[in-house]
Amino acid sequence: MLYSLLLPALVALDVASAVSAERGRPRIITKLDIVNKEIAPDGFPRVGTLANGTFPGPIIKGYKGDNFQIKVDNHLHDESMNTSTTVHWHGIDQHHTNWADGVAFVTQCPIEPDHSFLYDFDVHDQAGTFWYHSHEGVQYCDGLRGPLVIYDENDPHKHMYDVDDDTTVISLSDWYHQPASKLTFGGPWPANSTLINGLGRQEGAQTPVTVIEVEQGKRYRFRLLASSCHPWFNFSINGHDNMTIIEADGQNTEPLSGIDQIQVYPAQRYSFVLEANQPIGNYWIHAVPDQVNPSVTNTSLGLAILRYRGAPAEDPRDEPTIVPEPKSPLLEQNLRAYPTEEAVPPLDPDCEECNLTFNFTLDIQAGDFLVNGTSYQSPELPVLLQILSGKYTPQQLLPKGSVYTLPRNKTIQVTMPGLVLGGPHPLHLHGHSFHVVRSSGTNQTNTINPVFRDTVAVGGAASDDVIIRFRTDNPGPWIMHCHIDFHLALGFALVFAEDPEDVAGYVSPIPPAWDELCPIFYEGDGNVQQYYVGYSWRDLALFAAAALTVLFLLSRLLMKLRQRSKMTLPYYSPLSTDEAEASQKAAFTSTPGATVTNLEEAEPLLIDGAKY
């Protein structure tokens, strides 16, 4: 009903929108079939939700400036998990294509089973390590996640490495033996295993692990991705204590050398250069999740093998559960943006709405996370749809306090105090990268050249305050949320409505298939678990019933008026002569309510101006 009310405005918008994104160079055309399939990445079989039937999903690759056209076909039918789906392209700014950001009920309605949707977007001037995943409920925890790599032909760090291909992508994931929807409440639940490139070992199992082969003397650019739903990882490679960081979340950094351990939070990515300068052999790769308590269990310890060409095909000889203590771990505050990256923009002292503070708390009794006292709840229709319609403001459509309207072309500073229960919490902002002016774990600020990224961790200590800055140069609704997916499901999110007045002129023409997603979604059950603020579906149903009743009464009234304005012809019946005559007199009476006693006294009838 609400969609039908907004549809005329959207049709007009499609006609009026003349601004579209400039198309990129080559088109990267690919397809993702979203299916339910049984896999056993750690030796335990279970049905997952997978892209093209694999975990992780296939690597999608392109070059800076390319246009991506990715068709997503939904073949899901396992009712123990979400059957509707979306795909979010994590870290892609989506300039002019907010509708392709893939966030359920913020930028689109989900794709129903046996339907498809084409995501069509340009990467403009972005390059680096990204990824894609479902943004519908906790679906990506069931397996719908995969790497997205955008190469730069003019990479300023290209002289530092010899190899950068599919074999150097390292994806870290948590894996659960139950559907993720059963783990949302009452947790946190530790993962059953940690997977490196889709393989891992649960307790007591001797299942295969991933083997990454290198050649002695060569330099490798490894792209490290934490595609986890809950834990963060400490990543290290035995015998190799000189990793050089050159990228964070799709943004170049100044080379930072001498790193022997990388702490990577959910959704974060790093590129590091590793020189294969050790004796030919096999070396353990470790991904230790924060949930591991060595005194209790090591079942979630992530393992893989770095194997030099020429080494025997066997496990390393040292104990896999012994992880060397780091001497020089990566600290975010030591990262610096590459000199050619965007400078930190200054603040506008006259812009009050540009300086925001978000306090994150946990309502233990309700089990909800709160942002400034409000737990986020999705609307029943996408925020983008409602903004484009022009009928409602974002504040009318979301719980009070969950949406923040931002002016265009301003510098926004967001302060996020620490002392948050259940942390650290990786906060991800859609549509933007941001400058980390203050990192968790330090009281120092950097407004000169801090790291530029799209996901930052806010910790649970008093010293874990975080400050970020970004420019509002991308109109549209953009969600900011904790990337522990179970926390997002409990309301740990908010929406920035960036320059809503100009969204219609900035976003490229909406494809017709996007307009069809909501009607298709609400034809089925849709797994509707959200609440529409302002009007409930019961309110809309009552409104529709009342409108139909009014229309029915009006139609009856019009019918009666038409009948009274028409001539009534005489009729004959088996009545007595007097009764029949009286009936005829009444029939020929042209004045409503008039009574005559003699037929000759009746007023003449007027038909087409003639008297009868």
pLDDT above 50: residue 366? yes
Q: Check 34, 229, 259, 484 and give the catalytic one.
A: 484
Please state whether 92 falls in left (phi above 0), alpha (psi between -120 and 50) or beta: beta
pLDDT of 89 reads 99
492 is catalytic: yes
pLDDT above 50: residue 527? no
115 is catalytic: no
The gap from C-alpha 88 to its chain's centroid, in whole angstroms, comes to 5
The Cα 130–Cα 132 span in angstroms is 7
Identify the three-state secondary structure at position 553.
Answer: helix
pLDDT of 557 reads 66
CA angle in degrees (0–180, nearest 5) for 405-408-409 = 140
The Cα 438–Cα 372 span in angstroms is 20
Confidence of residue 379 (pLDDT cuts 50, 70, 90): confident
pLDDT of 271 reads 99
Cα-based distances in Å from 371 to 121, 245, 423, 492: 31, 33, 14, 7
Q: Closest by alpha carbon to 39, among 171, 212, 176, 138? A: 176
For 337-361, what is each residue's pLDDT tens digit? 998 767 899 999 899 899 999 999 9
For 76-85, what is each residue's pLDDT tens digit? 999 999 999 9
Quick one: average pLDDT of 372-388?
91
For 278-331, what is each residue's pLDDT tens digit? 999 999 999 999 864 444 444 478 999 999 999 999 999 999 988 999 999 999
pLDDT of 393 reads 74
pLDDT of 199 reads 98
Residue 278 phi/psi, 5° resolution? -100, 165
The Cα 49–Cα 110 span in angstroms is 15
Structure token pair of residue 386:
């409602």
H or E element, residue 542:
helix 537-564
Instruction: Report if pTM > 0.85.
Output: no
pLDDT of 284 reads 97
Q: Check 34, 55, 68, 90 and give the catalytic one.
A: 90
Task: Enter the DSSP assignment of 377.
Answer: -
Report the CATH architecture of 18-154.
Sandwich (2.60)
H or E element, residue 539:
helix 537-564
For 112-170, what is each residue's pLDDT tens digit? 999 999 999 999 899 999 999 999 999 999 999 999 999 999 999 999 999 999 999 99
Quick one: average pLDDT of 408-420?
96
Q: Check 135, 157, 286, 432 and give the catalytic one.
A: 135
Domains 18-154 and 156-330 share a fold: yes
Confidence of residue 549 (pLDDT cuts 50, 70, 90): low
482 is catalytic: yes
For 57-97, what is each residue's pLDDT tens digit? 999 999 999 999 999 999 999 999 999 999 999 999 999 99
The Cα 450–Cα 438 span in angstroms is 8
CATH annotation of 342-528: 2.60.40.420
Paired strand residues for 347: none
pLDDT of 528 reads 36
Tell me the domain boundaries of the chain: 18-154, 156-330, 342-528, 536-562, 567-612
pLDDT of 540 reads 44
pLDDT of 343 reads 80
- Most confident of the ranges 291-295, 382-386, 468-472: 468-472
CB 241 within 8 A of CB 260: yes
Q: Check 105, 369, 470, 492 and give the catalytic one.
A: 492
H or E element, residue 248:
strand 243-248
Residues of the chain with pLDDT > 90, as a percent, come to: 68
Q: Check 96, 115, 157, 483 and give the catalytic one.
A: 483
pLDDT above 50: residue 19? no
pLDDT of 190 reads 86
What topology is assigned to 156-330 in CATH?
A: Immunoglobulin-like (2.60.40)
Q: Check 95, 96, 124, 425 and give the catalytic one.
A: 425
pLDDT of 573 reads 37
Q: Which residues contact 58 (CB under 8 A, 6 or more apart)?
A: 32, 51, 52, 146
Q: Check 34, 70, 111, 482 and give the catalytic one.
A: 482
The Cα 207–Cα 368 span in angstroms is 38
Q: Check 430, 452, 467, 470 and give the catalytic one.
A: 430
DSSP annotation string for 301-366 = -EEEEEEETTS-SS--SS-TT--PPPSSB--GGG-BB-TTSPPPPPP-TT-GGGEEE--EEEETTT
133 is catalytic: yes
Quick one: average pLDDT of 437-458?
96
Q: Check 34, 88, 286, 467 and give the catalytic one.
A: 88
pLDDT above 50: residue 592? no
H or E element, residue 552:
helix 537-564
pLDDT of 340 reads 73
The Cα 366–Cα 301 span in angstroms is 32
Q: Check 115, 230, 428, 432 and give the catalytic one.
A: 428
Say which residue, 231 or 547, is predicted with more confidence.
231
Q: Which of 22-31, 256-265, 315-324, 447-456 has the lowest mean pLDDT?
A: 22-31
Rounded to the nearest integer, the mean pLDDT of the chain is 85
Residue 335 phi/psi, 5° resolution? -80, 145
pLDDT of 544 reads 53
435 is catalytic: no
Q: Check 360, 467, 487, 518 and give the catalytic one.
A: 487
pLDDT above 80: residue 453? yes
Q: Check 68, 124, 481, 520 and give the catalytic one.
A: 481
